[in-house]
Structure 1
């Protein structure tokens, strides 16, 4: 007699299977990032202890990084943890929300299926091998289709409060929509240009609250659906190629360092020191938030890492002391931009590499502007706290209490010296600095502060991997989006037009500021830097602007974009960690964005803020 299972039993078995697949993929993603970190540390050890650099660490670390991201992408699909902008769907009737949930599944399935089909196609076309390890690159590029296939598997789970077959139905609908779009694209879009299709579809999906990563991928696919099939491999080629960068490995390294700092008690010491120093002012905890981010900026180099770490630690504490949660998240997001304005900011490193300027010089040049932004944020905190009655109840710390807090924070404060000094004097690269920061944070947490246990270390690594994936997949998805804009000559045309408007350097910079602020609304900072630095730097040099000064202006412009919709990565990060509505955070962040814009104008109009420190202290 054949045994049969009821639908609920089948659903339960499938759910257990998907849960185990989730755990396996998460473990593989975490281990890949951790192994990449160990490889970077090994390279530093071999170079300075054994005096013999290895030829293969960068290749293997990049290989592991790409696989960790796309396996992690599938895990975030299962957990519904991809970053999306939250605008109005929650305000709609339940029936409309249910329709949106179905459309969300269908569009994600379409994007994943597209990445499977054309990811395999691109991998099969790839004939190159890595120089040192001689590994065929197709094995690295296969991370995109395999991760996307795992995403499709997870999409087979039922939609919440729906029948067991609902997931399979939306999965098949998504695959069907791929073929409809692929074979009727020319008829659907008519005479619209590729860049017009890209912007219309991408932005429409973002405002429908489709996760940003999949909205960008579908926008690129819709735009390229009018082209021959061979052109569609460009999407997955750019996605994997954009992450095939040793520089980008600094992102997971610094995020892991920040996570271990948080788990190991290092962040607590920095926060405690900041509270003793400025906690008695009006809006004391909020002022401590700004001071903490100033100190953390010299540690992580990653705004996303700082946003996540400080949001986990300070937002709940601020809420307990009467601060509004959206305000707390908004302040944390705004203050975390300091990580890219104070050395060793990742944006500064990437700009220096693309513009062929000194990393050490731009590090020195951005210190004063970074501190100006911190001061402006503190002023806004004071004004808002006065109006809303936040803080002011903490008693001024005694000198002995401050010295004790400083003594406990000394190991944590040495980390910026290690990082900036190591990069400044060429001991290790910015990416290797991230790995060394992780190692130092691990040592401090385990042996100095003794707050790091196996359990919270594993938890920190899991959280760091998830945060890394959430950001990195947007960088990957932004790459084909940016490539298509470049293919259509959109940024080049705008930049060339700006160059013809004025030969006056100040006026030109102000016009470029407006352009970059607009770009920051739609393109992630790293992608924007890759596209625009080669275009804009010759324009400003021809107008007599120093490229170091322009680099600081450009990075500040683009990092403000991380606070503004529709991308607003830092707002989404703090809203997610702080468990509050992102729309409310966007409203609360407006005064902080205004303050940063004022400083941006000052730095643009007065180049001495940047250039004098370089003249006095630069390399």
Structure 2
């Protein structure tokens, strides 16, 4: 997985004229609007918490306002990510092609993005014209919420067609022309090629095929849904924009940008160095001490971040060079950092679990409680592997043991960061605030820590952190929005029920079903990014496992663990690529070095899948 543009090499020489300046101005304006909208959503969510607990007078409209601001931020941000080439895409096939063939595929990829954008503009405006409902709290016409979809798509077309210094006017016009031809051909030719009954096969074939060819995941899902419906009743085409807008009108999804913002602010506010310092004081003197400190740091940082990729990059830059300087093999250090960064999705606040909760309609608080033991068990397993390898290779043992006074000082300095996961889990569990409000509170808390406790947060660093967090949010959430109509088609065609009927024999043998699903998910993780896999597979697999008698909370942990393990395996191996690049390690050697850690993680995965007490006992203890 990459977050790179589908356009890898420039098609024309950079243009220094006034046209890129206009593009840059539009980019800056859209970015300002997106940041303002997201910060407005944070402020409104915090206002609701204050009104509820300080003034004892909850307001009826904050959740609605926050979700509307969020929807517009994501749809405008979709266009911003298009202009910057930041959408999540699988570039395995483009990387294998020679230069001219790759540039040809890149041109087709951009045209497919144009076609998907045309779908949202044309049929999005159709739905806006038809929408007559009003919002419950504000009594605002809902058409203004759904208007965000065609507006964002129209901005997509601007960024895809307008010269950007790499592509001139002719390339932009060619992209528009080919994209329009793709749209027209599918819209008016689908009925001659296949019947509406073939919709599910067309949906999956076109969607996954486009993903594998390097089309950004969100646009692949939109095109797949459009192609599936093109041969059916034309009125069904308006459901694309309807489902995308409705999926974003969710207060639960707001937890994603809030926690990403909180983690970004804490990283630039001096939290991460404090956690590393504490980890080294606690375990740095042990055999393999700096490697053990790496795992401990990732464990503590997981309670702040929720993003494995962010943790992998941050810790690799800080610890891999230091480990290499102290005699650790650099690929080993990078592999350990990659394996440790998976904890960010196994310890609250986990973005993977938040996304699963939204897709499966289960409690975020229950997931956060259920993952406490498996997350710590995974950390312990990694530390055991570190100990065995360090004993065999003679790593560590060269750092003096920190005094009790130094450890106490390090603990005191790190307490503000360590309080955050307790605040999140405890606040959600005891009903002080929802998971989404917890994210908003975490954002405000991060600002307080960085500005007043650690005094490392500057205005420039804050602005940079918020801008980066906004883009991270958009590229994640736009996939969830695009997957909503994709999942709706699957449900409309009763695909989960058909799969359940086909696997009836395995449903009668739950242990065999769970084993087969784990094997399937591990294979999926080899080729598909976690978020894309979640939004496609959760609507299919959750009804199946519930029918077999499995708890959907436990299954949430199982599917997220499988997919984060996939981030350590080739050919994608995004966490390996991240840590190897940031730490200056050879990628192939790093893939080899991660194998012992993968073995330990698979053992923990099997324990979580087949020993329900690991997740159910904490739920009973805390009354979930």
Q: What residue is the counterpart of 1:81 in the other structure?
A: 86
Pairing 1:342–2:342 present: no
Q: What residue is the counterpart of 1:314 in the other structure?
A: 316
Q: What residue is the counterpart of 1:535 in the other structure?
A: 543
C-alpha spacing 1:92/1:354, structure 2 compared with 1 (3 Å) = closer
* Equivalence map 1:427-506=2 (5 Å): 427-506=432-511
1:11 Cα shift?
6.7
| 1:8–1:164 contact (8 Å) kept in structure 2 | no
SS of the equivalent of 2:467 reads helix
SS of the equivalent of 1:193 reads helix
C-alpha spacing 1:66/1:84, structure 2 compared with 1 (3 Å) = same
- Bigger mean CA offset, 88-97 vs 581-590: 581-590
C-alpha spacing 1:157/1:512, structure 2 compared with 1 (3 Å) = same
1:160 Cα shift?
6.2
C-alpha spacing 1:465/1:54, structure 2 compared with 1 (3 Å) = same
Inter-partner Cα distance in structure 1 for 2:264 and 2:34: 16
| 1:26–1:75 contact (8 Å) kept in structure 2 | yes
1:419 Cα shift?
1.4
1:579 Cα shift?
10
1:89 Cα shift?
2.5
Inter-partner Cα distance in structure 1 for 2:618 and 2:441: 27
1:313 Cα shift?
4.7
Q: What residue is the counterpart of 2:402 in the other structure?
A: 398
- Bigger mean CA offset, 176-185 vs 396-405: 396-405
1:30 Cα shift?
0.8
Deviations 1:214-245 (A, max 9, x none): 12222222222222321112222222222211
| 1:287–1:381 contact (8 Å) kept in structure 2 | yes
Alignment match of 1:415 (pick from 411, 415, 420): 420
Q: Structure 2-normalised TM-score?
A: 0.86
SS of the equivalent of 2:371 reads helix
Pairing 1:374–2:376 present: no
| 1:499–1:539 contact (8 Å) kept in structure 2 | no
Alignment match of 2:102 (pick from 97, 118, 127): 97
Alignment match of 1:36 (pick from 20, 36, 41): 41
Alignment match of 2:62 (pick from 57, 61, 65): 57
Inter-partner Cα distance in structure 2 for 1:88 and 1:386: 41
Q: Structure 1-normalised TM-score?
A: 0.86
Q: Which runs of 5+ in 1 are unaligned?
A: 1-6
- Bigger mean CA offset, 407-416 vs 28-37: 407-416
Deviations 1:559-591 (A, max 9, x none): 556667899886788799889999998887666
Q: What residue is the counterpart of 2:135 in the other structure?
A: 130
Pairing 1:175–2:177 present: no
Pairing 1:110–2:118 present: no
- Bigger mean CA offset, 41-50 vs 125-134: 125-134
SS of the equivalent of 2:457 reads coil
C-alpha spacing 1:321/1:362, structure 2 compared with 1 (3 Å) = closer
Alignment match of 2:230 (pick from 225, 228, 234): 225
Q: Which runs of 5+ in 2 are unaligned?
A: 1-11
C-alpha spacing 1:77/1:532, structure 2 compared with 1 (3 Å) = same
- Bigger mean CA offset, 74-83 vs 267-276: 267-276
1:528 Cα shift?
5.4
| 2:266–2:447 contact (8 Å) kept in structure 1 | yes
C-alpha spacing 1:584/1:188, structure 2 compared with 1 (3 Å) = farther
Deviations 1:14-41 (A, max 9, x none): 1000001001101110111111001110
C-alpha spacing 1:411/1:227, structure 2 compared with 1 (3 Å) = same
* Equivalence map 1:487-526=2 (5 Å): 487-514=492-519, 517=522, 524=532
Deviations 1:83-119 (A, max 9, x none): 1113142343221122122112211111112111111
C-alpha spacing 1:519/1:121, structure 2 compared with 1 (3 Å) = farther
1:420 Cα shift?
1.5
1:467 Cα shift?
0.5
